Amino acid sequence: MAVKTRPLGCMLIWKAAGAASGELMLFGILGACKFFGKPLILPSNPSPHGSLYATRPGALPARFRRQRLLIIGCGDVGLRVVQALPARVRVMALTSSPERSAELRARGITPLRGNLDDPLSLQRLAGLAHRVLHLAPPPGEGWQDPRTLALTRALRRRRPPTGLVYGSTSGVYGDCQGAIATETRSTNPDTPRARRRIDAEAAVRFLGRSAGVRSSILRIPGIYAPDRVGGTPRARLEKGTPVLRAEDDVYTNHIHADDLARACIAALWRGRPQRIYNVNDDTALKMGDYFDLAADLYGLPHPPRIARDAAGGQLPLMLLSFMSESRRLDNTRLKRELGLRLRYPTVESGLRP
């Protein structure tokens, strides 16, 4: 006998199989299922596995719905993330440029018009995605990051996302004088750029604590990749840009863009709540040695070495700021908690043609 009530568009049929037993069959989107002598639990009824089903009657079980990822700042690294994701994840990206929409669509990404500098344009982002990847930089001046603040406020207007990953910078540690920096080390930003990142981290943490969002902060050093615009030191080597002499040199840290994209994905799905991760490779090189290594790989002359006192008159301010900080990042947490195995564990393996 067919039952008139048909949750999920299914049909229940009772087939007599003798005086002492019967066979209950469920036909529908889940296929034919048999239940012998056990209570039948339908999605519209209370279930011991509440997370498996949507609460709305007639909705598909959660495991049959596509996960939605929203990327804020979908540049080179964001596109690498999309390329590495499985097809079952639907990706949306915020863009303020109409010209960029066609490129995003061609890559299977749904463009969403909006601008981090216009908070009203961000209201449509509320409740759209299960997870958010925030890779957009702060403004170029000031001590705070109003962009991240506006984003976090918009995300909590409706149902907040399950997880949010923010791409920060290792510059928040400041000058460690060559010491090893773990994620538990106190921040000591020496530049306005790093202070703006600290402000953004605070906004992300507040969203996590107050709205129950599993937020992760990635502290990222220098990003490189041969197929990334400006992603190798070749141009500087060809110009003959000097580096500091050995006694004045500083430690630098690096991560290949592909490994960074994989770290973003790992943090989105496996990151612990309100957790910080250093995202760097295993290389421990000073800046001058890094450029010497690259020069050997490219068959170019080593860059000239100069004293720190002479660097101010020969190098741009941005490069000088990097030369004023020395630290060695520890990536143990990245490997143990996120389970990330680096494809390019050293800059030599990543820069090699």
| Domain assignment of residue 46, yes or no | no
**Residue 35 within a domain:** no
CA distances from 278 to 88, 180, 217, 255, 338 (A): 28, 11, 9, 10, 11
- For residue 63, what are its two tokens? 């495991």
pLDDT of residue 321: 85
Q: Is the pLDDT of residue 206 over 90?
A: yes
Estimate to the nearest angstrom the gap between the alpha carbon of 312 and the chain centroid.
Answer: 36
Q: What is the pLDDT of residue 61?
A: 52
Tokens of 129: 């995605």
Question: Which domain covers residue 183, as residue numbers?
Answer: 66-351
Looking at the structure of the chain, the number of domains it has is 1
Q: Tell me whether residue 24 is in a domain.
A: no
Residue 329, pLDDT > 80, answer yes
pLDDT value, residue 158: 85
Q: Which one, of 200, 175, 182, 191, lies nearest residue 280 by Cα?
A: 182
pLDDT at 41: 37
pLDDT of 149 strictly over 50: yes
137 or 28: whose pLDDT is higher? 137
Q: 39-72 pLDDT, tens per residue?
A: 433 333 333 333 333 344 445 455 446 899 999 9
- As a whole number of angstroms, the distance between CA 196 and CA 142 comes to 7
Give the predicted TM-score (pTM) of the model. Answer: 0.81
Q: What is the pLDDT of residue 196?
A: 98
Contact 288, 251 (CB under 8 A): no
∠ Cα 74 79 83 (to 5°)? 145
Q: Is residue 243 part of a domain?
A: yes
Q: What is the pLDDT of residue 248?
A: 95
Average pLDDT on 94-108 reads 94
Kindly tell me the burial class for residue 155, based on how many C-beta atoms sit within 10 Å of its own C-beta (0-12, 13-18, 19 or more).
buried
* Position 7 in a domain: no
**How many Å apart are CA 233 and CA 298, to the nearest integer?**
10
On average, the pLDDT of the chain sits at 86
| Lowest mean pLDDT across 23-37, 39-53, 134-148 | 39-53
Tell me if 106 is assigned to some domain: yes
Q: Is the pLDDT confidence value at 217 over 70?
A: yes
Q: How confident is the model at residue 312, as a pLDDT? A: 83
Mean pLDDT calculated for residue range 275-293? 97
68 forms beta bridges with 90
CATH of the domain at 319: 3.40.50.720
| Spatial separation of the C-alpha atoms in residues 206 and 149, rounded to whole Å | 10
User: Would you list the DSSP string of 160-176?
Assistant: PPSEEEEEEEGGGG---
> Does any domain span residue 218?
yes
pLDDT of residue 170: 98
> Quick one: DSSP state of residue 36?
S
Task: List residues bridging with 219 in a β-sheet.
Answer: 168, 278
Nearest Cα neighbor of 28 from 5, 47, 50, 46 is: 5
273 in a domain, yes or no? yes
Q: Which helix (H) or strand (E) holds 62?
A: none
Least confident of 16-30, 70-84, 323-337: 16-30
pLDDT digits (tens, 9 = 90+) for 288-305: 999 999 999 999 999 999
- For the segment 165-180, the average pLDDT, to the nearest whole number, is 98
Instruction: Name the amino acid, one letter, at 6.
Output: R
More confident residue, 58 or 286: 286
